[in-house]
Amino acid sequence: MRTRRPFDADKATIRVLLLISQRTDRPCPTRNELMKQTGLPKRRVWPFLDELHRNGVIEIEERAIRPGNWRRMRIPGGRWTDWTTRKVRKRRVPLQPREAA
C-alpha cells in the first residue's frame, strides 16, 4: 500500500500562481509540470486547479480541440499564458470498438 505524503494546499497554491506568472506569453504549464511543482498526485491536479478556478484564485480558458484539449491560465486581471502545445503520439495499434456484451 502506498502512503501519501503530506500535502500543503497553501504552498501548492502559491507554487501554481508562481508557475502561471512565469509562463505568461509562453505555453501553459502541463500536468506533469504542475505535479512536479506542487507535489500533487496525477489524479488530483485538475480537480485542484478547478477548485482554484471556482474560488477565483486563477482564471482558466479551455478549448476542446482534437487532438488533446487546449488550455490557458492567468491570475485574475493578469496576462494569459499561451495555449498549451501538445505533441500527441499516434497509437501503434488503432483502438478497436468494444463488442456489446
Q: What is the pLDDT of residues 18-64, one digit of tens each?
A: 999 998 889 888 889 999 988 888 899 989 999 999 999 999 988 87
pLDDT at 83: 87
Under CATH, which architecture does the 9-74 domain have? Orthogonal Bundle (1.10)
C-alpha distance from residue 57 to each of 4, 16, 83 (Å): 26, 10, 19
Residue 86: count of CB within 10 angstroms of its CB: 14
The residue with greater pLDDT, 2 or 59, is 59
Rg (CA), the chain: 16
Q: What pTM does this model have?
A: 0.73
Closest by alpha carbon to 4, among 47, 41, 44, 48? Answer: 41
